[in-house]
Amino acid sequence: MSDGGARAPGGGIALAQALEAAGVMAYCLDLATGTLAWSGAPACDGVAPLPLALDDLLDQVAPADRVTVARSFALADAQGGSFDLEYALACNPGEEIRLRDRGRVDGGGARRCRIGVMSLLSARHGSPSIMGFDDLTGFSNRGSFLSRLGRYLDGEPDGATLGLLTIAVGSLGVVNETYGVIGGDRMVAAVAARIHGVLDGRLEIGRLAGNRFAVLVPGGDSEALAQLAERIINTVRGTVLAEVGIAMVASVSIGGTVLACGCASIEDALAHGKEALRRARRRGHEGYAEFRPSPAHLERVRRQAQTAVTVMEALRDDRIELAFQPIVRVADRSVAFYEALVRLRQRDGAVIPAGDFVPFAERSGLVHMIDRRTLELAAETLKARHDVELSINVSARSLEDEGWSTILERFGREAPKAVVRLAIELTESAAIEEMEEASRILGIARALGCRILLDDFGGGYLTPRHLRQLSVDLVKIDGSYIRNLASDPSNSLSVASMVALAAAYDIPTVAEQVETAADAETCRGLGVKYLQGYLFGRPGPLPPA
C-alpha cells in the first residue's frame, strides 16, 4: 500500500516521520462524515491511494474477517470504547496481509472520531503463524480457516456439499482454574494432536477460539460427519493427560452441519456450526449432534442478524430512549415510582418496544450495551427530575459487566442524592443463574443507596434462602398470574402464596400487568402493596414536574 492518502490534520512532519520509522500508520476517522486521514508508513505496497472513506477500507478487508471487523468497529463507535483487532487486508491481486489495528473512539457530538494505529504483523513478528497457522496447535488460525471455508463455499459448483464439524474441548475452564493458562494450553495442544491423528492430514482443520476447532469435509454428508465425529470422540475419550502434567481426562463435544456450496455464506456456516455444537452439549458429556436448518430457523437467524445491526446503529446514533410506566400504591393509587422501559426509535420515527429487540440483543451479545445506555439515560433523568424515582432492568449478562457497574458507581459519586432514587430490577431466573455476580452487583447498588427489585417473581426458581441472600426490597409478581386474577381461583391461590412468602421476610409486592378494576381490587384483597399495568398508565413520557 502506497502512502497516497491524506495526512492526518495537525500530525506534523516529525510525527509522520516517527510513525514511518516505527513501521506503523496512524489514522483518524471522522464518524460524522466517514472520511479517513492517514499518517506514517504504508501498511503494504500495491494499493494506491490509501482509502479515504470507511466503506472503502471495509471493502479491502478480507471477506472472512469483514463481518467481525465491521461489528467490532460498530460496537466501539456506539459505546465510545477501545478496540484491538487483527484482520487480513487485500493488497496486490490474490494477496493478503494481516494487520493489527488498535485505537479508541474520542470526542462527542459532531466531533466524534475513531483514532487508531495499524501495524503489519508479518513485518513485526516474522513468524509462520502470521501466514495462517496457530502457534499452539499448528492448525490453521481462524482467519486462514475462514478464508479457506469461503473459497470452498464460493468455488465449488452450486449444489455441492461441504461438511463442517465444530469441536469443543470439554472442562477447559476447570483445567485453567486448577493448573493455570499454561495447563489449559497443554491440554488443548494434546487434544489437537489426537484430532490430527484421526484426520491424518487429509482434511482442513482450524482453531476458531481457545477451546474450539473446526474441520472441513468436502462432499461430506450426514453419515460421513457422524462417523468422523465418533472416531474423534473415541480417540480423545478417556485419555488422561498425565504426560503433560495434568491429571485430567480429556473429552470433546462435536456439532455437525452440511452446507450447500453456492448458497451458504461464512456467517451461515459459523451460525449453523455453533447451533450444532450447542445441541451436542445439551446431549451431555461427549455428545454429537447434527443441525439441519429449517426455513423457520433461517428466518430467525436472519432477523437476529438484522436486529443486531439495528441495535448497533441505534446505539451509535443515540436512538435508544426510555418510556416510563407508573407503579402506584394500592391504598390511594398515588404514583410511588416509575419503571423506565427501553425503546428503540427507528430512523423514520417509529418506536420499537423492548420485547421486539432485547431478546435478539441478548442472543447477539449486545444486551449489556443496551443496559449500559439504559442506566446512563436513567441517571440523566434522575439528575434532572428531583421529584421522580425510577427502576431499571438489568440482564443476567450485565451482572458480569464491569462497564455497567462502573457507570453505576460513577453516577453515585457524581450525584449521591439522585442515585438513591434509583431501583435495580433483575429477573428471578437471572438472580439464580448468576447468584454470585448478582450478589456482588447488588452489593454495589445497595451501598450507593439503590433499592433492589426482583422481577417476574413466581417462576419457581427462588427459595426462601435465596430471598435472604439477595436482600431484595420489593418483589414484582409475574403478570401471567395477574391477568384475569378476579375470575381464576388457581391464580388467586398462587398470588396469595407469593404474597405470604414475601411478607414473611417483610418484602412488599407489586402486581404486574393489572388491566381491570376487578383484578386491582383482588390484588388489594390478597395483600399486594403496589400495582402496575395499563389500568394506571401505559409507558410514555414523564408527566411535567
pLDDT score, position 319: 95
Contact 265, 66 (CB under 8 A): no
Can you give the pLDDT at residue 127?
40
Instruction: Quickly list DSSP for 13-27.
Output: HHHHHHHHHHTEEEE
Kindly report the pTM of this predicted structure.
0.56
DSSP H helix total and E strand total for the chain: 18, 19
Q: Would you state the pLDDT for residue 146?
A: 87
Q: Where are the beta strands (DSSP E) in 16-150?
A: 24-30, 35-40, 82-90, 96-106, 113-120
419 close to 412: Cβ distance less than 8 angstroms: yes
Are 129 and 108 a contacting pair, CB within 8 Å?
no
Q: Is the peptide bond before 489 cis (omega within 30 degrees of 0)?
A: no
DSSP states along 471-507: T-SEEEE-GGGTTTGGG-HHHHHHHHHHHHHHHTTT-
Per-residue pLDDT of the chain (545 residues; tens, 9 = 90+): 333 333 334 444 455 555 555 566 788 887 777 777 776 545 444 444 456 566 666 667 776 666 667 666 776 776 666 777 777 776 655 566 777 788 888 765 556 788 888 877 653 333 434 457 787 888 888 888 888 888 888 777 766 889 999 999 987 767 776 777 777 788 888 898 889 889 866 788 999 888 899 999 999 999 999 999 999 999 988 666 654 455 667 889 999 999 887 667 787 888 889 889 999 988 877 899 999 877 776 677 677 778 888 888 899 899 999 999 999 999 999 999 999 999 999 999 999 999 888 888 887 778 889 999 999 999 999 999 999 999 999 988 788 788 899 999 999 999 999 999 999 998 766 766 666 777 788 889 999 999 999 888 875 555 666 677 778 899 999 898 998 899 988 888 889 988 998 898 899 999 999 999 999 999 999 999 999 999 999 999 999 98
Instruction: Give the pairing type, strands 205-209 and 212-218.
Output: antiparallel
Q: What single-letter DSSP state applies at residue 425?
A: E
> Residue 266 phi/psi, 5° resolution?
-60, -40
Instruction: Quickly count: other Cβ atoms within 10 Å of residue 173's Cβ.
Output: 11
Ramachandran category for residue 201: left, alpha or beta (phi over 0 → left; psi -120 to 50 → alpha): left
**149/64 Cα distance (integer angstroms):** 8
Q: Give the residue ranges of DSSP H helices in 80-167.
A: 121-125, 142-155
Question: Is the four-CA dihedral 464, 470, 473, 479 of positive or negative sign?
Answer: negative
What is the predicted pLDDT for the residue at 390?
Answer: 98
Q: Which domains are assigned to the chain?
A: 13-129 (3.30.450.20), 132-293 (3.30.70.270), 318-532 (3.20.20.450)
Q: Copy the grid coordinates of residue 13.
A: 512532519
